DNA sequence: GATGTTAAATTAATCTCATTAATTTCCTCG
DNA sequence: CGAGGAAATTAATGAGATTAATTTAACATC
């Protein structure tokens, strides 16, 4: 019972990331223990060290997997609104919020200081989140092609919008959103998206004004 | 050397919060150890338990102190722009960003899930951050009195703006802001405030349009 | 097929904290 | 002065991460 037979081998690295994500539905990242993950995977804690440098590294891998998942969902949404750029922007924002609501623990991990693990590589280029930002930037460029948000660098606007939506998600997950009464906590966050869309709509010089 | 003489007593609870804040300038909250704090204060770790239920509670106290500090700074800024509501809003946002830049560790702690410690009391009402939001809401009401952002609930707008500025600060502190080249990381965040002010300016029905 | 070598886990051993228990020292009040 | 409580301290416990030592399977070579 030291080394497993070939037929009962487990793909430890993959399972570890999966199971950690699952655990994040229940507990916060800080509370997750390697023994827990190992138990869920079907091995002992030290076995994880063969595939991850340590707890931090495992969490970092989950962090990255989270961004890949988010990107997938956003791509799917974008595909459904390939034409209408404004709709794409709104639906993208709402999809983002949905993601945060459905995976609160994972979302928090994705936006916690990845600690230590970020020094080795480029600060932003290699980050898994960069893909999401790039995608948002394209959506904004499409809006600009229709006359919205004229004369501003798309990258800057992308950062503004991402900031707002991420900020909303983050505040909601901390219970810091004003909850109107009996409503879903995410309602306030959806309101942020609505406000932003309104701002964008008004940014077009000539038509579309009350 | 068990109990200190009256003349060499320390105000442990106050010093502990102070020193923890100081430590946060260097390390992230997760890395701070009670022994470290105790050493900085001038006592041993178990002494802290007489004043804080545990590590979490100490961190929570620091979290609250952080919000009080932030509120102070914002009040000072507001006082300097008692008239011009739009300026007050912009300067408030920039002051917020400055705070985050100057106290990155503290800021992260303030916006980390306070974990466990939030169940006992009201989710939002008693929170130290509520004061900041309330203040923002007043500033917005003042802008509305001048015709900006007409017909929207001030609370909703306040949440949108707070989300955007907090999101920007949060992303910058994680190195997730696009840094234009050689510029300060906070430049991108300042750009967010500029964008928001622009949106607000355009929200007034009649005048003030290119 | 026996056998040495590498691989992949396991259990045992360390180390670093947080937290709790036992002790010590000082102050205050009679 | 002596008793009792207050405020720390040192000693003990326990959870978890990490590392060392050990075990067993798979493979290649003879």
Mean residue pLDDT across chain B: 89
Strands (E), A81-191: none
Q: What is the pLDDT of residue A114?
A: 62
Inter-chain CB proximity A175 and B205 less than 8 Å:
no
> Which of A159, A161, A173, A187 should be substituted to probe chain B, the one whose Cβ sees the most B Cβ atoms within 10 Å?
A159
Tens of pLDDT, residues B60-80:
999 999 999 999 999 999 999
Residue A78: CB atoms within 10 Å: 19
Of B108, B155, B159, the CB nearest to A192: B159
Instruction: Flag whether pLDDT at B118 surpasses 50.
Output: no
Q: What is the pLDDT of residue A24?
A: 97
CB-based contact A117:A60 (threshold 8 Å): yes
Tens of pLDDT, residues A154-201:
999 999 999 999 999 999 998 888 876 667 878 999 999 999 999 999
Q: Which nucleotides of C are covered by protein (CB under 7 A)?
A: 7-12, 16-28
Residues of B in contact with A24 (CB under 8 A): none
CB-based contact A26:A111 (threshold 8 Å): no
Of A162, A170, A203, the CB nearest to B166: A170
Q: What is the pLDDT of residue A131?
A: 83
Report the percentage of chain B scoring pLDDT > 70: 90
The pTM score is: 0.92
Mean pLDDT check: name the lowest of A108-117, B66-75, B119-128, B166-175.
Answer: B119-128
HSE value, Cβ hemisphere, 13 Å, CA-based, for A108: 21
User: Mind telling me how many Å the CA of B6 is from chain A's nearest CA?
Assistant: 40
Between A5 and B32, the more confident residue is: B32
CA distances (Å), origin A107, targets A62, A64, A101, A112, B25: 10, 11, 8, 9, 25
Q: What is the mean pLDDT of residues B149-170?
A: 96
* Four-residue CA torsion sign, A50, A55, A60, A62: positive
Instruction: Flag whether pLDDT at A21 surpasses 50.
Output: yes
Tens of pLDDT, residues A112-143:
876 654 444 444 545 677 888 889 999 999 99
Q: What is the mean pLDDT of residues B197-205?
A: 93
Q: Which nucleotide is nearest to B49 (CA to C1')?
A: C19
> Which of B29, B56, B120, B178 should be substituted to probe chain A, the one whose Cβ sees the most A Cβ atoms within 10 Å?
B178
Of B113, B127, B164, the CB nearest to A167: B164
């Amino acid at each position: 019972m030291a080394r497993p037979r070939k037929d009962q081998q487990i793909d430890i690295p993959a399972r570890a990331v999966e199971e950690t994500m699952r655990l994040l539905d229940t507990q916060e990242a800080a509370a997750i223990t390697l023994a827990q993950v190992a138990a869920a995977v079907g091995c002992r804690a030290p076995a994880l060290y063969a595939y991850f440098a340590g707890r931090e590294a495992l969490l970092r891998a989950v962090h990255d997997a989270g961004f890949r998942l988010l990107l997938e969902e956003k791509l799917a949404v974008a595909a459904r609104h390939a034409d209408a750029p404004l709709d794409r922007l709104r639906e993208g924002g709402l999809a983002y919020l949905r993601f945060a609501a459905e995976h609160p623990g994972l979302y928090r991990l994705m936006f916690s200081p990845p600690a230590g693990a970020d020094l080795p590589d480029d600060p932003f280029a290699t980050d898994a989140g960069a893909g999401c930002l790039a995608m948002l930037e394209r959506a904004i460029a499409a809006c600009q092609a229709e006359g919205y948000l004229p004369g501003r660098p798309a990258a800057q606007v992308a950062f503004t919008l991402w900031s707002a939506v991420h900020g909303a998600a983050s505040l909601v997950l901390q219970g810091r959103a004003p909850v109107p009464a009996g409503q879903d906590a995410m309602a306030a966050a959806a309101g942020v998206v609505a406000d932003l869309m309104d701002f964008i709509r008004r940014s077009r010089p000539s038509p579309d004004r009350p």
